[in-house]
Structure 1
Amino acid sequence: MKARVPAILLLLAYVSFLICLFATESKLPLQVATHFNGGGRPDGWMTRLMFLKFMGIFGFMFPLLIVGINFLIRFLPQSSFNMPNRGYWMAPERRPQTFRFFLDHSLWLALFAAMFVAFIYLLVLQANLSMPPKLSLLPLLLSMAAFLLGLLWWGVTLMQHFRKVV
């Protein structure tokens, strides 16, 4: 039940991102500025089609990679985990519950990642709507800070969960 909310939100983020890609495709120039220097000026380009393919694949795979890693860690030996109360949480009777928590909790991080990628896409789109293209650095820095805060929250709640011995 706990995983239902982030799973639904992640699915909505994926669908929203795909709709956004299709809805804004025609607004992109044929040559899209995709990399920007410290001043927000473009120094790397892609064709529109390559950029849309890259963003679509990256926007789907980056969050999926997070969930996939958190699924696959169940196959690692107990000794490879550095976590509070490892003996308690990795005991055979609690091991399935522990890995279920990892997987459920990874859905939140995947949601943060999907939202971050979508926001970066929108920033690149906005940069390409101006002539000459210029990336707004403040929104970029704020989005990076928000993602890092989300990552921090995710890590802290993960550690807090495993500090408790139920």
Structure 2
Amino acid sequence: MSSVVVAVAGVAVFVVSTGLLLPAQVASHFDARGVADASLPRAGYVGFLLAFTVALPLFLAIVSDRLLRNPRTPLNLPHRDYWLAPERRVATVDFLRRQNAGFAVQLVLFLGYVHALVVYANGQSPPRLPSAAFVIGLLLFVLGALWRLVQLIRYLRNVPQRR
């Protein structure tokens, strides 16, 4: 959980400090070709992005952490009886908490990356988002999420065979 707080704090500082570099009217939405098609006042853009980049990852991390720590939370896992047996429950919950915290860090870093692209785009005249860079970042984010899913599946499939 501390990694989530550190990542959120770092990206929040990045958003605020680079937000000062933005023009009074920020190109904040772009079409598929990277052409700006909507804008916001700088304070509105920075405030929205700051709230979104801080609140969403923290919400995901805190809520999942609280739910997983609560022994009465029903967890739907493959081989549930094995993974939630008293001798394995703590390790299982710890693994799930680390996975969720890792995803929250991954999400906040992606949102910070998108903001960096918006800052770059607003430095152009006219503002233009580098679409290829956005797509590459999005693909890396999705690949990272899929990698986490594979790790989760591999972990939960690792059940000794009964003889």
What displacement does 1:155 show?
A: 0.6
Distance 2:149 2:156 in 1: 11
Q: What pairs up with 1:4-83 in 2 under 5 angstroms?
A: 7-8=2-3, 10-71=4-65, 72-73=67-68, 74=70, 75-78=72-75, 81=76, 83=77
What displacement does 1:162 show?
A: 1.2
TM-score, normalised with respect to structure 1: 0.84
Match of 2:131 in 1: 137
Distance 2:15 2:109 in 1: 13
Shifted more, 135-144 versus 99-108: the winner is: 99-108
Percent of matched pairs sharing the same residue: 30
SS at match of 1:19: helix
TM-score, normalised with respect to structure 2: 0.86
Equivalent pair of 2:12/2:54 in contact (CA under 8 Å): no
Deviations 1:89-134 (A, max 9, x none): 1234433332222112211111111110000000011111111111
Match of 2:80 in 1: 86
SS at match of 2:85: coil
CA RMSD in angstroms, aligned pairs only: 1.9
Which runs of 5 or more structure 2 residues have no equivalent in the other structure? none
Distance 2:108 2:73 in 1: 26
What displacement does 1:24 show?
A: 1.6
SS at match of 1:27: coil
Match of 2:118 in 1: 124
Distance 2:92 2:6 in 1: 26
Distance 1:85 1:132 in 2: 56
Match of 1:107 in 2: 101
What displacement does 1:85 show?
A: 1.6
Match of 1:159 in 2: 153
SS at match of 1:120: helix
Deviations 1:40-73 (A, max 9, x none): 1111111100111111111112211321342225
What displacement does 1:34 show?
A: 0.8
